[in-house]
Amino acid sequence: MKLPKFTRNFYFLFSFFFVIWMLFIDTNDFYTQYKLNQKRKNLEDLKEYYLEKISEVKEDRDELFSSDELLEKYAREKYLMKKETEDLFIVVEEE
């Protein structure tokens, strides 16, 4: 088998091996870049989700602190708080 003359050139061989090295062997090869890009997209989606949740929580907080009645209702339901003259009964449903 006879190879073309340019394939025996040092610069061609060096360039060829360099390209192979950079595409498949190096730590920043195509596969690694693809996986890192997928991870980045996933993290950006998570960031967007959490930013939306933060805005919802801020709206709820502002609503709660704007009204004493809503704050009292939330405290009673979430933290089982009661007035001194009241009795509290917790009903647990069995499955």
Q: Write the CA distances from 56 to 49, 53, 64, 73, 95, integer angstroms.
A: 11, 5, 12, 19, 32
Domain containing residue 51 = 34-85
Q: What's the number of domains the chain is made of?
A: 1
* Interval 55-62 mean pLDDT: 92
Q: Is position 22 within any domain?
A: no
Check residue 81 and give its pLDDT. 79
Q: Is position 25 within any domain?
A: no
Check residue 52 and give its pLDDT. 97
* Interval 77-88 mean pLDDT: 80
Q: Is position 80 within any domain?
A: yes
Check residue 50 and give its pLDDT. 98
Which residue from 76, 95, 78 is spatially nearest to 86, judged by alpha carbons? Answer: 76
pLDDT tens digits for 18-48?
Answer: 999 888 888 888 899 999 999 999 999 999 9
